[in-house]
Each structure stands twice: as C-alpha cells, then as structure tokens.
Structure 1
Amino acid sequence: MMRKGELNMRFILNCAKILIFIMVLVHSNLLFAEDKVVAKVNEQDIHLFEVKSFLNKVVPIGRFHTQSLNKKEYWEKALNTAIDSRAIVIFIKNNNPEIYNGLKNKVNEIIKVIKKRFKSNNEYAKALKENGITEKILYETYMDLNVKDIIKEKIFSEKIEPKVLKEYYKNNQQMFSTGESYVVKNCLIKADARELKAKEMEEKKKEAENLLKMLKEEDEKAWQKCDKGIYPEQDTVYKFSKNYPIKEIFKLKKGDFGGPYRNIYGYLIVKVIDIKPSEVLPFDEIKNEIERLMKLKKFKDYYKNLLKRAKDEANIKILDNNFSN
C-alpha cells in the first residue's frame, strides 16, 4: 500500500508532467535514497531523483514498464541527459541571462502550483521529506528538465521574414512536391467483415470480381452497380492519400483497372483515368510548415552548439552510474 507522502509526491510530479518511478521502484531491487548524489557538474550535485525524472524522456514509447527500469542503457542515457542539461543551465546563467531568467520564472511558477496542492507548508515539507528529497533538489530537477523547452520556445517565438521563407521554398521545392498523382474512377462493393460471415464475405468478393469483368468490357451500366457514399466517383490519389492501396495503384498505367482491393469498407475497384506529373504545393498553403521546419532546424543547430560549448567549459564527475545493480 502507498503511503500518504508517496501519493502526494506522485501528485507533485504529475502536476509538472514529469513521470517519476518512485512507487514502481519501491517494489523492485532498484530503490535508492532519492538524495543520493550520482554526478557533479562544476561541483553542483545531480541526485538520483533527477536521473529518475529523466527516464521518461529516454525510455522508448511502448516500453514504459518495470522491466525497462532494469536496463542499464536507459539509466545511463538518463544520467547523461541530466548532466548535459545541468551544464547548459550553468552556461546560460553566465552567458545568456535572458533565457536563464525565463527558465527561473517558469520553474518558480511550477513550484508555486505544486505548493498550492498542499494544505500547508508543513504538509508540503513532509511529503518532500518522506520521499527523501529537499525543495532544492526538486527545484534543480525542474530547472534541468525545462531548460531545453525554454530554449526551443525562445527560438520558436522569433519571427522569420516572408522573403526568407520564400527563399527557403524556392531552394527546397523537392520537399514540397506532391509526387506523381493518379486520377481514378472508383467502384466499391461494400462488405464489412464485422457484420458479415465468412461465406457472405466470399460472395461479396465474387460479386466484385464479376463486376470488374463487366467494367473491363466497357459496360457503362456496370458502374451503376457500385455502392455509393464512401469513395467519390472520381478522385485524385497522391503518394500520401489514405484508404487507397497506393503501391498497387501506382503500378498501373493509364486506362488500367485495379482490384478488387480488400479494405475495411469492402472490395475496391479502380480505373486509372489519368496520370499527372508531380506538382509543387503553392507557397501560401505551406508557408506555416516552412516556418516550423526552419525554426526546428535553427533550434537543433543552436542547441547542439550550445551543448558543446557548455560541456567544454564544465567540470563533470560521474560518481555512480551502476544503477542496474
């Protein structure tokens, strides 16, 4: 059974969207004192509590369970990420006060929200103590966890001139190409496997195959036998279109029939009416995406360079990375 203090601490961490493994570790062989110092950056302590806090950033989605906590690679990656973040926090404190002050303000707000969830300061202090950490450890953890996001927010808040966006669009048009597209005429025989028995599905398949023969014989009345409502009578299929067997359709030539293709709606038959060459999407339709891509690249380049400079100046000592034991 979870103690009250442990439940309170889980609430604290969820409030700031951090997934901590304290309660899971209680039932495993990985439980340590949360205030255990595992590394130092310029003589500033990094505690085990912070390394646990970074685990949810490094464990791949879908593997977020107790067994993942036994994998040394995840613990080491979490430790290295915590060290990198602390080095950057120290660096921006000395070299970029604007970003550092923004980070401090954000973390102070988080701590305020956390404290408001407790009836009194004594109850808050008790929850910290029962989980083996101090407010200083909690504060430093949030500083390190949020520094990357603060830097990203700063870069994404900067405006990019329209002429710069247009120049990027002009020089990278292959990125915004639709690729070759197929204009097809659709014919669907509805057959929902959730509603029909296997024998009925087989009958629907035969119906679609017979209809395909009629269509190939250019029986115009055959198109009237197609079920309406799900697929448009005529459609343009791109490489990114949904609900079409793209690979199969793109093997066809103009005038060819394809199918019947089984999907969740039934059996689809297509006739290729035309094949259009690749087109570049208009600038106005994708200018927001261009801006996002440019800012993302700027952020990645900036952060990579910042991390290198920060670690070059930092004195890093790993005291204990033998977590899996």
Structure 2
Amino acid sequence: MRKLSTFVLGLLAIAAPMAANASVLAKVGDKPITDEMVRSEYETITGDQRKAVNDDAATRRNMIENAINAELLVQAAKKSGLEKDEEYQRAVEHFQRQYLASRFMQKAVEPKLSKGEVKKFFEANKHFFDTTQVCAYHIVVQEEKDAEKILAQTKVKGAKFEEIAKKNSLDPSVQENKGNLGCFTRDRMVPEFAAAAFNMRKGETKGPVHTMYGYHVIKVYDIKAGKVPGYDEVEQQAKESLRTKLVSELINDLRAKSSVKVDESEAKAFKL
C-alpha cells in the first residue's frame, strides 16, 4: 500500500463518502474537499515527516491545493467519459485489489503489534538483532548429491573455493563475485543459511545446507564480533521484524486453507 502514489490515494479519497464530522476546506463546484480527504491523500507520511508538515503552513496549504487539482482532473475525466475506458477499469480493479489486500493485512496484523508483543518478540529473538557479522563464500546447486560432491572437492588439498564456485554454482552473480557473499548479519540471510553460517568457525567449510534456493556449501573466511543492542535501540526494527513474521504466518495460513495450484510449465515460460 505504501507504494501507491499520493495522487492515486487522493483519487481514492475523493471517491470516498464524506464523513459526518469532516471539515470542508474548499469546494470544486458542488464537490467538497474535506480535511479527511487531504489526510487520506498523505497517509504515507509518518513520524518526523508528519510533524514537519503540520508545522509548515505553506506545505499544509499545498496539500489542499493538490486535493483541489485532483478533483478538477477527476471531474474533467468523468465529463470526457473516461470512466468507460477499459484501461481505467483495469486500473480501478488493480488498485482496489491492492487496497483490499493491504487493508485486510493491516486489520489482521496491527492489533498484534502492541509494545508488549514487540518487546516479547525481541526477548525471544535477541540473536536476530546481534550485530556480529560472518563473511562467507557459498556454492549453491539444485541437488543434494551434487552439493556433497562439491563439498568433497573443497576439502582436497590446494583446492580453491572460488574456482569451484565459478564452475558449479547456480548463483547468477558467481562469475563476478566467485561465490563471495561478503560480510552480513544474521537477519540478512534466510533462516536456514544464517543458522548454519553463524554456527561455523573461521576457516570452516560446511554443507549441504538446504534453503529455498537449493543446497549450499558454505565457507566462512572471517567473523566480525558485534553485540546484541538494547531494546530501546532497535524497538522499531523489532516491530518491523515482528510485522514481517506475522504477515508471513497470515499468508501461510490462508494458503493452507485454500486451493492454490500453479501450472509449472506456464510459470516457467512466463516473462514480464
């Protein structure tokens, strides 16, 4: 929902019925421009940005002018018969689907993001916020047996992990980085990969490690010690992490209750 343009949000606000307690800021013909419509148009503004807007009279006035401009365009579009345009109908359906999905997700997840729940999540997942970094190479293949063979190759005296990676890894960037992922914190990697990498010693090679991407052989070449920050330092990060977890659980639950079938041949042939 955040990615919708403020102009589109403005059009959605204009189309909405007027609330009983709304203040009329302006009129375009007989159409009122209310405070509620202007707020809806800029609903993506949060925190310090919202305070800055509220403190600046010129910016607030500009918001009202933008709402007026949007209404002028809407009225002109209706007079031209644009509402019957197929592209318009597809766009309305697209944004309606986006809004409904986003609104449902918000109503399902937001009540579970209280300060108490966020703190509880942080306490149970402190390792996730550890600033320690692991620096590693990896090779990824589709078959476990291939990963086992590659692991054996890396153990041969004089073997160069980078060269083995270039010859075998399915990672699209391997020809450029030779399998070097650089240094990363635990939260930057998928859980299975992170669990393996952060339980390895410097210089150790391990595999196969299974993730959604395939089977990995991992070589840790450095570890940069960090710390677990205090809750106050990462409260917002913890909230976003919990939100991501809750959304993932919501989607998984909906999938489990629904019939989802993918035509793999069509999916493989699909291109943007």
TMscore range, shorter length: 0.3 to 0.5
Which of structures 1 and 2 has the larger relative contact order (alpha carbons within 8 angstroms, sep 6+)?
1
Instruction: Name the larger-Rg structure.
Output: 1
Normalised TM-score (structure 2):
0.38
Normalised TM-score (structure 1):
0.33
